[in-house]
Amino acid sequence: MHPKNLIAHIESTAPLHLAASWDKSGVQIASGATEVRTMCVALDPTVDTLRRAVDAQADFLLCHHPLSLSPRLPNRLDEYHEVLRLSFEAFLWVYSAHTSLDANPHGPVNWLGRALDLKDMRILEVTRRETPTLFRVPGAHGRETLRNFDDACTRRDPEMAEYVLWPEEAAAFRITAACLDNCQEIALTAPAREFGFGCIGTLPQALTWQDFSARLGHVLRTKPRHVGFAPDSVTTVAYCPGSGADLGPAAFARGADVYLTGDVKYHQAQAVQDLGVTLDVGHFCLEETMMRVWSESLAHELSPEGVRVVFLPGRDPFV
C-alpha cells in the first residue's frame, strides 16, 4: 500500500482539521519508502518503540503522541536524535494521530463508553460543528463525470441531479465538477455533526458505587486516584483520555456522577473536589487501550490491502 493511501485511511478516522491549534498531528518523519507492508501502532514514539518497530521490519509507525510539540534541530545526542537516526536508517515513516484522533467522538477514543455500554453519548467540549453542502447539477450531461459520487446522490431525473456531501467529500466534488456548467452549491443547516473532546453518557441502568467500581476495575485493570466523595449510585459517566482535568467542571455541570481522566494536578483537584468524584486513572491507561483498539480495527481494514498491522504495547512509567 502506498504511504499516501495509508495516510488517507488513517485521516479518515483522525482528520487533521480536527487537531488543536497547538498540536503537531500528522507526518512526523517522512521516508523514501513507497510501499507499506507492515505498520506498527503504539502510544508513544520512544526509542524503545522505534527499535521494536525496526525489529518488526515495519515501514510505517503510527503513534498517538507526537515526536515533539516543539520540533528542533537534532543538535544533541539524546533520545530525539536517536529516534530520528533509527527512522532514517530503516526508511521508516512516523506518523502521529494526536488531538486529530481525540476530537473524533466516533473513533477509538470512545472505546470506554462502548465498553461500559453508555447511552445518549455526547461531547463535553465541542470544538467543531459541520453541516453538508447540497450540489445541484442541471441536466444529465455530468452523470458520467460524477459517477464516483453516486452514493451521495439524493435526486436524479432528466432535469437535475442533487448530491449531499460532507466537507471532506465536497472538496473532491468541486474539483471533479469544475468542468460542468451551472453547478449550484447550497449550504445546508441540517443534519449536523459535532466534534470535540471528552464524552458523557448514561449507563443502561443505575449501579451502586460498589458495583460500578467493580465493573470499571474489570475494564481498566488499574487502581485510580479519587478526588471528591463517591456517590451512592452512578447513572451518568463522563471521561476524557489523557490530560483532561480541565473538563471536570463541564462534566459535572452536564450531570456526571463520576468523571475519569488523567494527570489531575493539585489545584485542578481542588476545583472539582466538591462537585463530584473524579477518578485519575493516569495518562497511560485510557490511551494505551485506545491505540490497541484502533490497531485491531486497522488490522481488519488493511489486511485485504496486504498490510500487516502490529500493535506495540507501551509501558506506564508510573507502574
Distance of CA 69 to the CA centre of its chain: 18
Residues of the chain with CATH 3.30.70: 132-187
pLDDT of residue 178: 87
Q: Give phi and psi for 215, each to the nearest 5.
A: -65, -40
pLDDT of residue 159: 87
Q: Pick one of 3.30.70.2470, 3.20.20.100, 3.10.50.40, 3.40.1390.30 as the CATH number of 108-128+195-281.
A: 3.40.1390.30
Strand bridging mode 184-187 / 93-96: unpaired
pLDDT of residue 220: 94
Along the 319 residues of the chain, how does pLDDT read in single tens digits?
999 999 999 999 999 999 999 999 999 999 999 999 999 999 999 999 999 999 999 999 999 999 999 989 999 999 999 999 999 999 999 999 999 999 999 999 999 999 999 999 999 999 999 999 999 998 876 778 898 999 999 999 888 999 999 998 999 999 998 888 889 999 999 999 999 999 999 999 999 999 999 999 999 988 899 999 999 999 999 999 999 999 999 999 999 999 999 999 999 999 999 999 999 999 999 999 999 999 999 999 999 999 999 999 999 998 7
pLDDT of residue 248: 97
Q: Which CATH class is domain 132-187?
A: alpha beta
Range list of β-strands (E), 148-224: 153-156, 160-165, 184-187, 193-208
Q: Residue 226 pairs with which residues in a beta bridge?
A: 279
pLDDT of residue 141: 67
Q: Considering the domain 3-100+287-311 in this protein, what is its CATH number?
A: 3.40.1390.30
Residues of the chain with CATH 3.40.1390.30: 3-100+287-311, 108-128+195-281
CA distance 151 to 147: 9
CA distance 232 to 230: 7
State the Cα torsion 143-148-151-155 to the nearest 10°.
-20
Give the ranges where the chain is alpha helix by DSSP (H): 3-13, 47-55, 79-90, 99-102, 111-115, 167-176, 209-220, 248-253, 266-272, 283-302
State the Cα torsion 225-244-263-64 to the nearest 10°.
120
